[in-house]
Structure 1
Amino acid sequence: MAPEKAEEFDQAAFDALDKEAKEFDKDSEIDRILKVFRLDSYAVLDLQPGVPDSDIKKTYRTKSLLIHPDKTSNPRAPDAFDRLKKAQTELLDEAARERLDESIADARMLLMREKEWTANTHGEELQSEEFKVEWREKTKWVLMDNEKRRQRQLKAQMQEEGRQQRKDDEELEERKRKRDHQEKWEATREQRIGSWRDFQKGKGMASPSVADSNGTAAGNGEQPKKKKKKLKPIG
């Protein structure tokens, strides 16, 4: 094989191996992101709690370029990229990061209480890799517990809002019913007044006294006086 051809072959082989290695790195990182607990943003970015914002941004940029869906054929890349973006957003949000840090601190305190350890008597054990693994697992438990509590509160809030909405709807319907009733009452007002006037006119035109069939005078109930018959002379 000619030297030039050999060099071209070596370069092509090297490029192929390099590309394969990069794809392996991408797949490995995607797999790691999807396996870690998604509510722990430090774990998603593979960072330790307490790192400065500059480290968060730098790590996110490096990893996002590595697993960007446009730069890999891995079908799980979009999901991993989305989790990575959410993790960075949470850690750069002061309030969200404070809540996460509190959960991590709570997990450490609970774990130490379970082991009956103190920082003074077990300082070396607290720095061990074994404790860090346990700490991360306890953090997962705390975050899950907090999320369940948040979901319960959200459900209760939605139920309360639903009850309030139904109450508001009922009050609105009652006001509408009363308004419709008032409008109908006002619309028939002239008709009612006209009917009353006609009734009054009818009473005024009635006869003041009419004799009944028994000869009783209407109005006083007295019997009419009988006329005396004239006697004819005899003879």
Structure 2
Amino acid sequence: MSKTTDATRTAEVERILRAFKKNPYEVLDIHAFATESEVKKTYRKKSLLIHPDKFQHEQGPEAFDLLKKAEGMLSDTAEREKIDSILTYARTLVLKEALGSGYSTKVPDDDLRVTSMSPPFQIQLRTKAKQLILEESMDEKKRANMVAVNEANERAAVEAEKARRKRKAEEQKVWEERRDDRVRDWRSYKQKEKENKYKKARKNMHTLG
């Protein structure tokens, strides 16, 4: 194995590790919207290049896993549609910024105005896609946080209601348990009231007599 080959393999491992992990096209280092056959061909070529069984590198297994994950994302119809929709929007923004009034979604990638872009069109596309993906990730986190907060509030409300009902049940139980005591206290009070009235009446009669 030549030093050049080792250097090439090392460079590929390092490139994959530097790539934006949420963009599988970038991880595979293939143009956006590549065909399924192009994706598989590129994956086979690069996986053979850095496969841990063929090339020993401290971070080789990590790079290989990232490569495999990227190919898996593009093989998954739903995942690919999601990525491609973001890249389509990114392409629109890049072309609008670069072409101005001459912009059209029908402008092909091999148009001279596109191929002559600086930085290169694919680089600008990846940069814009990264920005959009990160923004979407932040929005997803915000939505997830809002959902988590709402769920926490709902759980707190449920627990508070449970505690209220439990407290009310306990109070009702104590009320029921003390019913006889209250009856006795009431009867005792009425008896004393009756006795006091009797004593007062006798005292008044004695005074008048």
Q: TM-score, normalised by structure 2?
A: 0.73
1:26 aligned onto 2:16: no
1:140 aligned onto 2:130: yes
1:111 aligned onto 2:82: no
Aligned length: 200
Q: CA 1:22–1:168 in 2, change beyond 3 Å: closer, same or farther? A: farther
Q: Verify the 8 A CA contact 2:9 2:50 in the aligned structure 1.
A: yes
From 149, 166, 169, give the equivalent of 2:156: 166
Q: Verify the 8 A CA contact 1:37 1:43 in the aligned structure 2.
A: yes
From 79, 84, 102, give the equivalent of 2:67: 84
Q: Verify the 8 A CA contact 2:50 2:60 in the aligned structure 1.
A: yes
From 167, 174, 177, give the equivalent of 1:177: 167
| Aligned twin of 2:114 | 126
From 37, 40, 63, give the equivalent of 2:20: 37
Identity %: 30
Which of 1 and 2 has greater Rg? 1
Q: TM-score, normalised by structure 1?
A: 0.66
Query: Which secondary structure state, in structure 1, belongs to the residue aligned with residue 202 of structure 2?
Result: coil
Higher helix fraction (1 or 2): 2
1:24 maps to a residue whose letter is A
1:124 maps to a residue whose letter is L
Q: Verify the 8 A CA contact 2:52 2:60 in the aligned structure 1.
A: yes
Q: CA 1:56–1:76 in 2, change beyond 3 Å: closer, same or farther? A: same
1:66 maps to a residue whose letter is L
